[in-house]
Chain A
C-alpha cells in the first residue's frame, strides 16, 4: 500500500526530474533479478533466480521445455508477481515505475501475438510508438516505424491487414512493433520459433545490432547453436533454477548440456568460424527396408 502511494506521489510531483531512460555505458546493468521466486497455482516454477542483464549485451535464456524460461521473461516483463525476491529495472524496483515509464524501458515480444481486429501491419507497428505519444520523441514516429518495417523485412506488407499474413510474417511484424518502441531493454520470447532459416539469422542480427547500439537484449532460444553464435551471455535454466550462466563457451559444454537435456549432446566447433555447433548424438538410421526393390 505504502509503496503504491509513494509511486503515485512521484508521478504527481510537478517538474519531476525526467524519468525517461538515460543512456548508460555498455556493461551497466539494466535489469537485475535477485533471489526471484515465482509461483503459479501454488506450485513453485522459478526459485532462487539471480540474473543481470547489461546494456550492450545479448543475453540468451536457454533450457529444456518447461524449465521456466518464458516464466522468467514474464516476471522480468512485470506480468507475473514475485513470490519472493525482486526484479529491478534501471536500479529501481519494477513496481515503482508507472506503466508508461516501464514501457520506455522495456519492450516485450511474447510467443503468441494475436490481434482482435484487422489492423494493418503499419498500424500494428505504429502501436509500438504509443508510449511516446505527447512527447518530443513522437516526431520520430514515421522514421522509426519505417526503419522497423525494413529491418524486419515486412515493408512490402505494410498496407496489408495483419491477420492476412502468414505465421512467420506475423512474428516479424510483432518484432517490428517491439523494435519501434525503442525501449532500452528488449525481452524477446522465442522470436525465431516461427521463422525460416534466413529470417532466423535476420532476427538474431537485429538483436546484435540493438545490443551494439547500447540496448540490453534478453532472448529466449531453443536453438543452442543460435545462442552460441549470437549471445554474449548464456543463462541455462533447468527445473526453475539457474543451472549455469556465463559466456557461451563456458555454458554450452557437452557434459552440462547432455545432463540438463537428458540426451547425449556433442559440441563441435565450426571448421571455419569456430562457433559452436551443438549436435545431438544420433545414430545413422537403418534405411535398408525402403528404396530397395525386392
Chain B
C-alpha cells in the first residue's frame, strides 16, 4: 500500500475480432445457398438428382454437359414448377432477411422485424385491397404496388408512433406492432367478409403464406425489388453502422439522418412488398436471421445485410422444401411453418434482450 509500483502493462485482448469472419461467412452462405437450391429443385413428386438439375441448366445454356433429367416430365417439372418456386423462395427469403436487418438498424432495436411490427400485415392489406376491388390498372404490377403502398404506409406509421426522443424502446415498438397487426387483421377480416368465395380464398392465402403459386412472372417482378433494395441498403451500410450510436451522434459524424431514415423506410417497404406480394405473410425470418448473423460476424452492416439476405434465402428455400415434402401429397402453409420455429425464437430473443437490459424499466 505504501510503495507506488509501476503497474505492469495488462496483456492486450486476445479475442479475435469478429470482423474477419465476415468473408468466410459470406462464402460459406453462398455455397450453402447453391447446394440448397440444387437439392430443393430436385425434390418433390418427381425426384431429380442434383447432377441432373445441373445438367438441365447447362443444356439450357447451350452446353452439352451432364445428364438430363431421366424421369418422365422431369424437364417440365423443373422449369415450369420447381425453378420459379425455388427462385421465388430465395428472393422472398433474401428480401425478408435484408429488410429485417435494415429495420433493426434504423430502429436501433434488435426486435424490429417486418412481421413483428406489422409491415407485412400492412402490405397484405394493400394486396388484399387490390384483389378484392379487382383493380388491375397496372397489370401484373398492381398487386405488388398495392403491397408496397401498404407496407410503406405502415412502416411510416409505426416509425412515427413508436419513437420518442430519437430512440425506440422495445416495449413501445412491440406494442405498436401488436396494435398495427390488430388493425390490419381487422381490415383483412372485413375485406374477407365483403368479398366473394374466390376472394376469401385469395386473402386466406396471404395470411398463411405460400409459394404454391410461384411463376416466372412473379420471379421477374420480385427480383428487381430485391436487387434495388439490397443495392441501396448496402450503399448505406456504413451510415447504418453509425446510427447505432444514436441519431444525434450519427448526425455529428456527418450523416444526413432525415434523408437516411426516409431512404431506409422506402427500402424496407420495397423489400417487404417483394416478399409479401407473391407469397403472403412469412414471419420471423427477418428477425431470427440477422440476429444469428450478428452473433457470428458482429453487427457491422456491410457483412450483415448481404449475409442476412443469403441466410434468409437458405431458410425460406429449406422451409418451403419441408412444407411441400413433409406430408405426402399435401402442402403445409409455409407461413405457419416459419412461425412455429420463429415464434419461440422471438420469445427467446425477447427474454435475452430483457435480461441484458435488466428489465424493461
Chain A residues proximal to chain B, CB less than 8 Å: 77-79, 98-104, 106-108, 110, 113-120, 122-124, 127-128, 130-131, 133, 155-160, 181
Does B35 belong to the interface (CB within 8 Å)?
A: no
On chain A, the residues within 8 Å of B246 by CB distance are 114, 116
A107-B252 Cα distance, complex, nearest whole Å: 6
A79 close to B251 (CB less than 8 A): yes
Complex Cα distance A157/B14, Å?
A: 10
User: Which chain B residues lie closer than 8 Å to A157 at the CB level?
Assistant: 13
Chain A residues closer than 8 Å to B16, beta-carbon distance: 159
CB nearest to A131 among chain B residues: B254
The answer to whether residues A79 and B300 also contact, given A127-B241, A130-B242, A160-B13 and a CB cut-off of 8 A, is no
Give chain B residues whose Cβ lies under 8 Å from the Cβ of A131: 253-254
| Assembly CA distance A189 to B13 (angstroms) | 30
Contact indicator A119/B300 (Cβ below 8 Å): yes
Select the residue from B13, B110, B245 with max chain A CB neighbours within 10 A.
B245
With a CB–CB cut-off of 8 A, which chain A residues contact B15? Answer: 159-160
Query: What mask results when residues 246 to 260 of chain B are scored 1 for a CB within 8 Å of chain A, else 0?
Result: 101101111110000
Q: Per-position contact with A for B60-88: 1 when CB-CB < 8 Å, else 0?
A: 00000000000000000000000000000
Which of these, B14, B109, B248, B299, contacts A119 with CB under 8 Å?
Answer: B299
Please report the C-alpha to C-alpha distance between residue A128 and residue B241 in the assembled complex, in whole angstroms. 11
Total residue contacts A-B, CB cutoff 8 A:
91
CA of A133 to CA of B110, assembled, Å: 27
B251 touches A119 (CB 8 A): no
Interface residues of chain B, those whose CB is within 8 Å of chain A, are 9-19, 108-110, 238-239, 241-246, 248-249, 251-256, 294, 298-300
A120/B17 contact (C-beta < 8 A), A127-B245, A133-B238 known? yes
Q: Which B residues lie within 8 Å of A122 (CB)?
A: 17
A116 touches B253 (CB 8 A): no
- Given A116-B109, A119-B299, A158–B238 Cβ distance below 8 Å? no
Residue from B11, B17, B238 whose CB has the most chain A CB atoms within 10 Å = B17
Residue numbers in A under 8 Å from B19 (CB-CB): 120, 123
Give the CA-CA distance A113 to B252 in the complex, in Å. 13
Secondary structure at chain A's binding surface: helix, strand, loop or mixed? mixed
**What CA separation (Å) do A114 and B298 show in the bound complex?**
17
Could you show 18 A-B contacts with beta carbons less than 8 Å apart?
A77-B248, A79-B251, A103-B253, A114-B246, A116-B108, A116-B244, A116-B246, A118-B294, A118-B298, A118-B299, A130-B239, A130-B255, A156-B9, A156-B12, A158-B12, A158-B13, A159-B14, A160-B13
When the two chains form the complex, which single residue of A99, A116, A118, A160 contacts B254, counting CB atoms closer than 8 Å?
Answer: A99
Which listed residue (B11, B110, B244, B249) contacts A110, Cβ 8 A? B249
Question: Which residue in B109, B252, B298, B299 is a CB contact (below 8 Å) of A108?
Answer: B252
A167–B108 alpha-carbon span in the complex (Å): 20
Residue of A nearest to B17 (CB): A159
Question: Shortest Cβ distance from A252 into chain B, in angstroms?
Answer: 30
A113/B249 contact (C-beta < 8 A), A127-B241, A159-B15 known: yes
In the complex, chain B residues whose CB is within 8 Å of the CB of A156: 9-13
A113 to B249, CA, bound (A): 9
Q: Which of B11, B14, B245, B254 contacts A100 (CB 8 A)?
A: B254
Distance to closest chain B CB from A185 (angstroms): 11
Closest to B168 in A: A116
A169 CB, nearest partner CB in chain B, Å: 12
Residues of chain B contacted by A108 (CB below 8 angstroms): 248-249, 252
Whether the pair A117, B252 counts as a contact (CB closer than 8 A) is no
> Which one, B17, B251, B294, B298, contacts A99 given CB within 8 A?
B251
Give chain A residues whose Cβ lies under 8 Å from the Cβ of B252.
77, 103, 106-108
Q: Which of B238, B256, B299 has the most CB of A within 10 A?
A: B299
Shortest Cβ gap from A133 to chain B (Å) = 7
Shortest C-beta distance, A212 to chain B (Å), equals 23
Task: Pick the 8 closest A-B CB pairs, nearest first.
Answer: A103-B254, A117-B299, A100-B254, A116-B108, A131-B254, A159-B13, A108-B252, A116-B244
Bound together, the chains give a CA A117 to CA B295 distance in angstroms of: 11
Q: Which residues of B contact A77 (CB under 8 A)?
A: 248, 252
Residues in A neighbouring B110, C-beta threshold 8 A: 116-117
**What separation, in Å, do the CA atoms of A131 and B17 have in the docked complex?**
23
Cross-chain contact B13 with A119 (CB below 8 angstroms): no
Q: Are B254 and A117 in contact (CB under 8 A)?
A: no
Q: Chain A: which residue is nearest B11 at the CB level?
A: A156
A113 touches B245 (CB 8 A): yes
